[in-house]
Amino acid sequence: MSRFQIPDGWRQQAYKFCLDDGERADPAEASHLGARRFAFNFGRRLVTDQLHARNTYRVLALRQGASAKDANTWAQTMVPVPWSQAAMRRIWNDTKDLITARDDAEREAAVENIHAREVLEALALRQGARATEARNYADRVIPTVGWWKENSKEAYSSGFEAAATAFKNYFASKSGTRNGTPVGWPKPKARYRGRASVSFTTGAIGIVDRHHVQLPVIGVRRTKEPTDKLRLKLKDESAKILRATLSQEGGERFVSFNVIVKRKPSMPATCGVSGTDVGIAHLATSSDGHVVENPRAEKQLRQTISRYQRRMDRQHRTNSPACFNADGTRRRSLPLESTLEAVEADPGQAQACSREGCEHAEGPDPQGVAPSSQHLQRERGRRPERVRHDAERSKQAGVQPGSGRLGPR
């Protein structure tokens, strides 16, 4: 079978939806996951048994005196190994009634059905029918037994596909044509080990509505999240579903859709060549005469700063009316009291940077300092504008400088 080719103008994409945990896990889901696991182990065991049988035939040929080359050729002819998915599925279709029989009665009926199917296929081939038509005719006439018919045939096909891929990766890794971590011989899959999944390529696969998806045999299942991102594409025929996969990870169940999506038309390619020169007066100048102006970030920032300064000025006028004249202009020269004169005359005031630094500065005993000097020591580290403001308020209230401070700092 040739590999699927993505048409021009389409791309491959996947969509994954989590199934709602409010609904109890359907036994059909667990049955399909188990059927896929059973098919994988069946294909692996079939290949292993055939390899052992081939090795037995090779040893017998060597004991009879044949050369190594002749022994290998004879063993390969006598015991074919089903490496591909199609070969595994063909053997499965011939023996699935016997393999999946539940009891001895079904096992006996399966043996009879196998012989009857072989007879009908031979009669159909004699009448000129093709092998596929003869097999389908025998399947329609002969009743089937076993539990395999409770699941979709895609579950078993998915298991055989995984087995064939595992053997392919093993030989590619062994020969050195596959990069990455070395791959060993496929191991049997267990129920509680690894990621459980099953894939569907045919049957009733699709999006039912905004919160429901449909799978073959399993039926309609509700999703936690909306399916609009895929449903709308399927509605306007801009997407096609190639495969659906049901998986179970960490107690959660997911449904993934492998689809091809129509690509959006890209921007047309421009013609011609254009050069660009970066300058100072202008940000860039093209050879075709197009000029890109500077963003003028400094001008914009200055406007923003001016707006914030006006806002702060309004707040200052409201909270400190004594700092402004009657006509609204700022007072540049306020009456200086003895406190302000003492602060400006102190040579250590220029070195004081904070109130804590002034309080811990070395000086005479606070008990022997005059009231004006004590007030001077408290005023160190304060801004002159604040000192002027307090002095103005003290003068208006009739309080002597150095005797106290009005209002909070």
17-43 per-position pLDDT tens digit: 999 876 566 788 889 999 999 999 999
The residues with which 259 forms a beta bridge, in sequence order, are 13, 241
pLDDT at 270: 64
pLDDT at 385: 67
Give me the mean pLDDT over the 241-261 stretch: 91
CB 100 within 8 A of CB 122: no
CB 256 within 8 A of CB 205: no
pLDDT at 167: 93
pLDDT at 408: 45
DSSP per-residue string spanning 229-258: HHHHHHHTT-EEEEEEEEEEETTEEEEEEE
pLDDT at 342: 46
Q: Look at residues 403, 345, 347 and name the one whose alpha carbon lies nearest to residue 372.
A: 403
C-beta neighbour count of 164 within 10 angstroms: 22
Q: pLDDT grade, residue 327 (50/70/90)?
A: confident
376-405 per-position pLDDT tens digit: 445 455 556 666 776 676 666 554 444 444
Query: 154 vs 33, 89, 122, 166, 226, CA distance in Å?
Result: 11, 11, 27, 18, 26
pLDDT at 258: 94
Q: Tokens at residue 24, please?
A: 């109890």
User: What is the residue-averaged pLDDT of the chain?
Assistant: 79
Q: How many CA atoms lie within 13 A of 19 on its CB side?
A: 24
pLDDT at 383: 57
CB 183 within 8 A of CB 170: yes
Q: pLDDT grade, residue 348 (50/70/90)?
A: very low
Q: What is the DSSP letter of 66?
A: -
Give me the mean pLDDT over the 354-360 stretch: 39
42-85 per-position pLDDT tens digit: 999 999 999 999 999 999 999 988 888 899 989 888 988 999 99
CA-only gyration radius of the chain, Å: 45
Pairing of strands 239-249, 219-222: unpaired
pLDDT at 337: 42
Give me the mean pLDDT over the 118-138 stretch: 87
Whole-structure pTM value: 0.62
Q: Look at residues 17, 354, 404, 405 and name the one whose alpha carbon lies nearest to residue 206.
A: 17
Number of helical (H) and strand (E) elements in the chain, helices listed first: 12, 10
- pLDDT over 60 at 362, yes or no: no
Give me the mean pLDDT over the 294-322 stretch: 79
Give me the mean pLDDT over the 144-154 stretch: 89
218-242 per-position pLDDT tens digit: 989 999 999 999 999 999 888 999 9
> Using H for helix, E for strand and C for coil, what is the string for 333-393?
CCCCCHHHHHHHHCHHHHCCCCHHHHHCCCCCCHHHCCHHHHHHHHHCCCCHHHHHHHHHH
pLDDT at 296: 72
- For a pLDDT cut of 70, what percent of the chain falls above it? 78
Q: Which helix (H) or strand (E) holds 118?
A: helix 104-126
